[in-house]
Homo-oligomer: A and B are copies of this chain.
């Protein structure tokens, strides 16, 4: 789970656009900075860096193994602090080449860590409450972080098309990143998606293909396409580029700690869709500890789900190690993954750190969106309503300690899920006169 250090140094060979084609044929020679290999999370089997995601031995998920052995803690800290105001300040800890900041990329990250004193008062938190507000990313969701990593891997492997299946945030993030980087994009969505979401995904000018079927059909088709000659040269950000893509979530952990003054928070509340984000935040925190960038002390990670899609929360409460799939039915569509791939790892982390997994229903999600907006002026996506609502619930149940420093993630933007708060409206309607103003009791 934690940072893996290897004895062999990272391959010093560099990849530029002229050699990118050959890199596809010989993926071991790519330069992805400190990334040394892919390693199976289940059996530890290692393979060279390449566009693969499942272990050839046991079909377990592959993740990046790094070589951080050459780093001096204080030199690394200075390098980060003098880096750009985006995720590339952490390039030494990510699977990207050292000159990544010079390449065309949306440069997400370094979003605000808002000291949420008003919300803290409402929730009774006395130990310091912060909202990590990822609506400040270029396409207004945390997906820009992970897509930025996938894009650099795609570049290194000589891919020229960026692709994904999506029903929302990811489509926009892929379309925008591909446009900036000069890649072709081809995004697959269910054909009957709401018009607003289609517009948000289509405006970047890539191919946007509607599939006659539901989201599962879209995913099945994408898997077929990856195995077909037609899919050659295509990087599916969350399939064949998944090991690289997933690492983007580590930057949330890095930023939170650096913004707290190189300090671990006591408690973090993270939304769960596939569960990948939560596991990578834990990985990022562990790396900071091992590298000596933060003091090693206990932290608790809490997972947040919507009641209408709460397979991990259910397993946590039932004391199970496996996650039983659910059919999603919730307004928190960006979290609506009924069979979360990283569910078991999430359960492990929540239990190991002394955290928990909790869920809130749709009405509680809407209440929490309004609470965050009214107290801090942050208009969150439904996923942000889930984390804020779960935070409130965890305090009430005593699982989250209000006397400790707590960070709550908002991973998206309310403008993308306006329907959730559609009931919000005018306080009053008056005639344009002072009399009418006074009659309405507004003074």
Binding site for B on A (CB under 8 A): 85, 104, 106-107, 110, 112, 117-118, 136, 138-140, 172, 175-180, 182, 186, 191, 195-196, 198-200, 202-205, 207-213, 217-218, 220-221, 224-225, 228, 230, 369-370, 373-379, 413-416, 418, 421-422, 424-434, 437-438, 440, 442-443
Contact = CB atoms under 8 A, between A and B. Distances in A.
Given A85-B110, A416-B415, A426-B198, A442 B207 contact: yes
Nearest to A178: B377
Contacts of A425: 195, 198-199, 202, 208
A107 B376 CA distance: 12
A172 B424 CA distance: 13
A202 B424 contact: yes
Nearest to A380: B203
A260 to B, nearest CB: 15
Contacts of A224: 433-434
Contacts of A220: 432
A76 to B, nearest CB: 21
B432 A221 contact: yes
B377 A209 contact: no
Nearest to A443: B230
Given A117-B104, A422-B195, A180 B427 contact: no
Given A179-B376, A230-B438, A211 B416 contact: no
B413 A205 contact: no
A195 B426 CA distance: 10
Contact of A422 (B199, B413, B438): B199
Contacts of A139: 377, 379
B414 A203 contact: yes
What is the count of identical protomers in the complex? 2
Contacts of A230: 434, 437-438, 443
A212 B429 contact: yes
A433 B262 CA distance: 50
Given A200-B418, A416-B415, A209 B375 contact: no
A198 B104 CA distance: 37
Nearest to A174: B377
Given A209-B426, A224-B433, A225-B437, 18 more contacts: A85-B110, A118-B179, A138-B377, A179-B376, A191-B426, A195-B425, A196-B418, A198-B424, A199-B425, A203-B379, A203-B424, A205-B373, A205-B374, A208-B426, A209-B429, A209-B437, A210-B429, A415-B415
Contact of A209 (B198, B421, B428): B428
Given A117-B104, A413-B415, A434 B203 contact: no
Contacts of A432: 211-213, 217-218, 220-221
A205 B428 contact: no
Contacts of A429: 191, 209-212
A212 B440 CA distance: 13
Nearest to A112: B107
Given A202-B424, A421-B199, A422-B195, A211 B431 contact: yes
Nearest to A423: B199
B213 A177 contact: no
Nearest to A228: B434
A377 B179 contact: yes
Q: Which of A140, A213, A415 has the most CB of B within 10 A?
A: A415
Contacts of A110: 85
B179 A373 contact: yes
Contacts of A431: 211-213
A437 B213 CA distance: 14
Given A204-B377, A205-B370, A370-B203, A186 B442 contact: yes
